[in-house]
Structures are given as C-alpha cells and as structure tokens.
Amino acid sequence: MISALKRFDDVTAAGILARAALAIDGNPSGSYRIPDEESVREQLIAEVMRRHGLRRDDHTPRSMEQLSDLLDVELDTLIAPSNSEEALERLSTRGSLPSDLFKIEIVNQVSDFHGRKFDREERLIQKTVRSPDREQHYGPSIGPDVPAMISLFAKYFPNEYPIRSFTMLVAGQRNGLTLRIHQAWRVYPDIALDGAPTLVDLLHCFSDQFGFELTVGDKTGNFFLSAALPQDIEDFEATFEVRPESVGKNRRKRLTFSYFFQHAKPAGPKAALLVAIDLDKYRSFLESRGY
C-alpha cells in the first residue's frame, strides 16, 4: 500500500484514491472529504510519481493521464482481494459505503428529459452523489411498506442570483457497487425546504409542487413511499390510473411516473418512492429560473 495511506482503513483509503483520480481528471467530485485530505493527497501523488519515474513538476496532459491511470491501478489493487470487495458490498448493502466508490448509472428518462443540457445536469448529479450535503439510505428490506436498498443525496448549488439557487435531489438504487439513478430533481428554496426534515420529505414536497394525482391499488396521491403491485404484473404503469381532473382538460401533457421497482418477499412486488410528475410544469418552472 502507498505509505501515505497506511494509517487509513481500506475503505477510507479507497475513497481518497478515487477522489484523487477524479480531481486529476478535472472532475469536481474529487473534492476533499476528510480532515487533512489535501496533505494526504499531495503525499500519495508524490509517492506514486516517484515510484513510477514521473517528474513532480510535469503537468502535461500525457503525464496527468498516466498519473490518473496509475492511481486507478492502485485503487484496483487495494480492493482486488475478494474479501475486500465483499466488504465493500456489505457496506453498500447497509448503506454506509462512501459514495465516491459507487459506479454511477443514470436511467434514460433523466437524460431524455434534459436533452442537449444533459451533460451539465450529469455533472451536477455526479457532484451531488460524490460530495453531498445530506444523504439518506435504506438498507435491506424490513417490511412491505419500507423502501429497500435506495439512497438519496442532496447538495445545494448557490447562484449569484438567489432566485436561481437550488438543491439537487438525487435518488438511486444500490446494487453492489453500482448506484442506478432513477430520479434527479432541482428543488428551489420556495418549495418548502424548511418543512422537509428528511430527503424523502423533500421529495414529497417536490411532488406536491409538480405532481398530479394517480391511483395505485386503493391509494391516491402524487407521492407513495411504497405501493403494492399485483403478483403477476407485466406492465407496471398499466396499474397506475391517472385522475383526469388532476391534469386538466389537456391530456397531452408530458407526464412521468418515476419509481423503484422492488421484489418484497413474501408480500410481492412493490413500487417504492413513486412520484407522478407533470414534466411540462417542471420544465416551465426550470426555464423561469434560468435553466
């Protein structure tokens, strides 16, 4: 192991290496997360460069690319043993894995909504997950009415014009070391931020602002922490009934159901953190805030 990392446990060391590699690639997610990390990073980079014959004052693109590759190799070496990887997956299952270590995947619905602006939004999502201001995690299933293996992250992005400042709210499903992002919303301060003590509450406030009502089974609303689905379900959305009066006469609006499909034994399949969002209303609001 790199000398500068010997005083850390493997998970913390892996996080430091991952953030160092991100920073070299110019990714803002490589920001410091632990006390004295700046000094530790300088030491480990100097050691890796010295070990592989790179000049410390060489900041050419080729040298930086080589350094990034070397840090990736060190990271792979650190977590390569099967017991280490199993340990990381156990941390993921409990919801305590450092978010720097997740491989982030974003569902097509998010990229489709943002279109040509998705690259910018993806950077915001990555930064929110990698260095959140707040986070909330659900572990393994503990009951039919509680989500499982879902993580929520939030990060505030200030703007010189206060009306354009917002909190990015991201929700993803954990599967081993992969975090699959299903929801990423900009929540502006006038959407009851002070009245949302948890990130799930914040998501509920967002859906109250931009949602429409639908019925799932015997429940009606625009937000469902958990909703049971038929055992033999094939088309999830066929079980969701939109209430016409909630979207007005114009039924050609762009609407979306965003949720996490989960198998809950023995109760059967369920939709967790289901929100029903009027995307036209949401986009119009974003554009009014300089999106």
Same domain, 249 and 112: yes
Same domain, 55 and 129: no
Instruction: Supply the pLDDT for residue 165.
Output: 94
Residue 190 lies inside a defined structural domain of this protein: yes
Residue 94 lies inside a defined structural domain of this protein: no
Same domain, 220 and 149: yes
* Integer Cα distance of 176 and 60 in angstroms: 36
Instruction: Supply the pLDDT for residue 192.
Output: 62
* DSSP letters spanning the chain: --GGGTTS-HHHHHHHHHHHHHHHTT-GGG---STTHHHHHHHHHHHHHHHTT--TT---HHHHHHHHHHHHHHHHHHH-SHHHHHHHHHHHHHT-S-GGGPEEEE-HHHHHHHGGGHHHHHHHHHHHHHS-SEEEE--S--STTS--SEEEEEEEE--SSGGG-EEEEEEEEEETTEEEEEEEEEE-TTTTGGG-SSHHHHHHHHHHHHB--EEETTEEESEEEEEE--TT-S-GGGGEEE-GGGT-S-TTS-EEEEEEEEEETTTEEEEEEEEEEEHHHHHHHHHHTT-
Same domain, 76 and 202: no
Instruction: Supply the pLDDT for residue 270.
Output: 82
Instruction: Please state the domain count of the chain.
Output: 2
Residue 85 lies inside a defined structural domain of this protein: no
Q: What is the pLDDT of residues 120-171, one digit of tens each?
A: 999 999 999 988 888 998 888 777 778 889 999 999 999 999 899 999 999 9
Same domain, 177 and 64: no
Same domain, 141 and 218: yes
Residue 95 lies inside a defined structural domain of this protein: no
Residue 20 lies inside a defined structural domain of this protein: yes
Instruction: Supply the pLDDT for residue 193.
Output: 64
Residue 41 lies inside a defined structural domain of this protein: yes
Q: Which residues of the chain have pLDDT under 50?
A: 82-83
Same domain, 239 and 112: yes
Same domain, 158 and 218: yes
Residue 49, domain extent:
3-80
Same domain, 18 and 66: yes
Domain boundary residue among 80, 115, 140? 80
Instruction: Supply the pLDDT for residue 82.
Output: 47
Residue 86 lies inside a defined structural domain of this protein: no
Same domain, 112 and 48: no
Same domain, 76 and 110: no
Instruction: Supply the pLDDT for residue 86.
Output: 74
Same domain, 53 and 159: no
Instruction: Supply the pLDDT for residue 171.
Output: 96
